[in-house]
Amino acid sequence: MKIFLAQQNYLIGNFESNTQKIIDAIVQAKQGGGDLIVFSELSVCGYAPRDFLEFDDFIDACYASLDVISEYADTIGVLVGAPDRNPVREGKDLFNAAFLLYEKKIQGVVHKTCLPNYDVFDEYRYFEPSYDWKVLEFKGKRLAVTICEDIWNLGDNPMYRICPMDKLMSFQPDVMINLSASPFDYTHHQSRKAIIKANVTKYKLPLFYCNSIGSQTEIVFDGSSLVFDAHANLCGELPAFSEEMRAFVLNNDGTIDSPVIEPAEQVPAEQLEQIRFESDLQVAAVHDAIVLGIRDYFSKMGFTRAIVGSSGGIDSAVTLALACEALGASHVRAVLMPSPFSSSHAVDDAVQLSVNLGNQYDVIPIGNTYESFLQALQPVFKDLPFGIAEENIQSRTRGNLLMAIANKLGYILLNTSNKSELATGYGTLYGDMAGGLGVLGDCYKMQVYALGRYINRTRDVIPLNIFSKAPSAELRPDQKDSDTLPDYSVLDSILYQYIERTQGPARIKAMGYDAALVDSVLRMVNINEYKRNQFCPIIRISPKAFGIGRRVPIVAKYLS
């Protein structure tokens, strides 16, 4: 059986475009002699549609698209994802479903059993778990079709009571096929290989895994679809972060007519739970994910031009470089806004960066604007000493200028805050926290430096002085980040243990970190949730990003 995998980039709710993409792939697969073509989870409507699923009109559009697609599923089988209405009164109104289309009609439907309801997932909010299990008979093969999370319920501590493949094995299937919308994070590629290997090893069946690609607001899907033979050898891997369609021939003995990429003994056997984000491969993947996140956010929203506040620091430098790569330098504008406390090298470094990148830049000093604010506030501030209010006025002045240019000339402001700053509240609401998209909000400070070095891997795009100087907000004389925060190498490690690894203070202290420092850092994280709650969407690259993936109360006492 010749099986095509089609990993495609969909736009949520753009039924016309999504349907046409699917049809184009079907036509191409038929021309290539395909017996079956597999698409990703909820491919008809795009993943994740969230509360759009509550609109009958949205579901009607999904069924209408299936009708159109069915007309092209004449001589080839099509496995495509879409919501399916639940005819039973009890339970949720919808299933997350895979439809088998063949001979211009629906030949079978499979419903997802394991509905993730953690991190960025909310599927149990909308869908009912499957309550029956069956293989799909197709061209003499029994297909064990599952959907994304359905194959992840293995191990000593399963999250769900039912493992659908256990149910399907009673029908003696010939092959496992999984339609997936599995988001990228820098641990997930190894984890996917490990979990698929575990399934193949347990059930002794080949597995075809089709994953979506593309960015949907903050969530990035990397594709990287996989094919394993019955002996757990990796025989196929589609590229990351790009659309691709590829055919594989499944033999009757469970082998694949493709060269083995990784023999079973070399495929990871364990999911990756902890990472230091130091290898070139991981940094490259994070870089590609962020570039795709920016590009898709703009293209899918109909935006074309970005503006960035360029300070001469590493965060704005990396953001600007990534934006130029994603959108093209001619579509990116940098604005340098020196204050009375800005160093001369900050302006020089920011200018040189834009020269190296080839993007337009403006220099707008904020000294006079800042002084006018102070004069206006003098009757209220009187003779109170200089403090954080005056510092924040500078930041908010910059935010105002950036937003004014964006509004007037049609730009989208990219935010440059990193995860270390967002975690500790080291940022100004409506100032340097302004923006339409958080580019680095899921990257700790040390990870930002790693991205900068990766950007400079072939030439010095980012001036070397930006790497060597001490980080500073430059909002008061001789200010350094270290005046307020611990050394970033230590801070990032503590934050990682608390946020990604969900370790409590006692366990973190037991790792050798100073007890008072741990208490201080965790308190900063928890008391600044109100700031993050008002922040823009953040491109997710870690297993636990701020935003929809991490939900904690604003008003609470825990560790605060």
Which of the listed residues 480, 509, 542 is the one where a domain comes to its end? 480
Average the pLDDT over 445-464 and give the result: 96
Measured CA distances, 472 to 118, 313, 363, 375, 485 (Å): 36, 8, 19, 26, 11
Which of the listed residues 480, 505, 540 is the one where a domain comes to its end? 480
Cis peptide before 48 (omega within 30 of 0): yes
Which of the listed residues 445, 480, 515 is the one where a domain comes to its end? 480
Same domain assignment for residues 185 and 322:
no
**Residue 156 pLDDT class (50, 70, 90 cuts):** confident
**Counted domains in the chain:** 2
In the chain, % of residues over pLDDT 90: 90
pLDDT, tens digit, 9 for 90 and up, residues 373-429: 999 999 999 999 999 999 999 999 999 999 999 999 999 999 999 999 999 999 999
Tell me if 432 is assigned to some domain: yes
Same domain assignment for residues 411 and 336:
yes
Q: Choosing from 148, 210, 324, 443, which is the catalytic residue? A: 148
Tell me if 505 is assigned to some domain: no
Average the pLDDT over 173-179 and give the result: 98
The C-alpha R_g of the chain, in whole angstroms, comes to 26
Interatomic CA distance for residues 525 and 545, integer angstroms: 13
Tell me if 250 is assigned to some domain: yes
Tell me if 271 is assigned to some domain: no
Q: Choosing from 21, 41, 529, 531, which is the catalytic residue? A: 41
Same domain assignment for residues 367 and 250:
no
Active site residue 148: yes
Measured CA distances, 474 to 341, 344, 363, 467 (Å): 6, 11, 16, 16
Phi, psi dihedrals of residue 535, rounded to the nearest 5°: -85, 165
**Residue 288 pLDDT class (50, 70, 90 cuts):** very high
**Helices marked H in 155-275:** 164-168, 188-203
Tell me if 393 is assigned to some domain: yes
Same domain assignment for residues 51 and 177:
yes
Same domain assignment for residues 354 and 249:
no
What's the 3-state SS for 518-532? HHHHHHHHHHCHHHH
Q: Which CATH number does the domain housing residue 422 bear?
A: 3.40.50.620
More confident residue, 476 or 178: 178
pLDDT, tens digit, 9 for 90 and up, residues 498-536: 999 999 999 999 999 999 999 999 999 999 999 999 999
Tell me if 148 is assigned to some domain: yes
Q: Which domain holds residue 191?
A: 2-266
Interatomic CA distance for residues 121 and 549, integer angstroms: 8
Q: How many CA atoms lie within 13 A of 530 on its CB side?
A: 7
Task: Tell me the two tokens of residue 198.
Answer: 């575990």
Tell me if 324 is assigned to some domain: yes
Burial-class residue 109 by CB neighbours within 10 Å (0-12, 13-18, 19+).
middle
Same domain assignment for residues 234 and 296:
no
pLDDT, residue 481, reads 77
Interatomic CA distance for residues 369 and 315, integer angstroms: 25
CA dihedral 159, 160, 162, 164 (to 10 degrees): -80
Active site residue 62: no
In the chain, % of residues over pLDDT 70: 98
pLDDT, residue 275, reads 66
pLDDT, tens digit, 9 for 90 and up, residues 77-112: 999 999 999 999 999 999 999 999 999 999 999 999
Interatomic CA distance for residues 90 and 59, integer angstroms: 19
Res. 320: pLDDT tops 90: yes
Same domain assignment for residues 419 and 381:
yes
Same domain assignment for residues 247 and 285:
no
Tell me if 178 is assigned to some domain: yes
Identify the DSSP state of 330: G
Q: Which CATH number does the domain housing residue 20 bear?
A: 3.60.110.10
Q: pTM higher than 0.85 for the full model? A: yes
- Closest by Cα among 215, 218, 211, 213 to 195: 211
Same domain assignment for residues 301 and 261:
no
Phi, psi dihedrals of residue 485, rounded to the nearest 5°: -115, 155
Same domain assignment for residues 328 and 403:
yes
Task: Give the orientation angle of helix 388-409 with respect to helix 367-381, to 10 degrees.
Answer: 130
Same domain assignment for residues 474 and 374:
yes
**Residue 276 pLDDT class (50, 70, 90 cuts):** low
Provide the 3-class DSSP secondary structure of residue 93. Answer: coil
Q: Choosing from 21, 45, 62, 112, which is the catalytic residue? A: 112
Same domain assignment for residues 259 and 358:
no
- Closest by Cα among 531, 444, 525 to 487: 444
Identify the DSSP state of 266: G
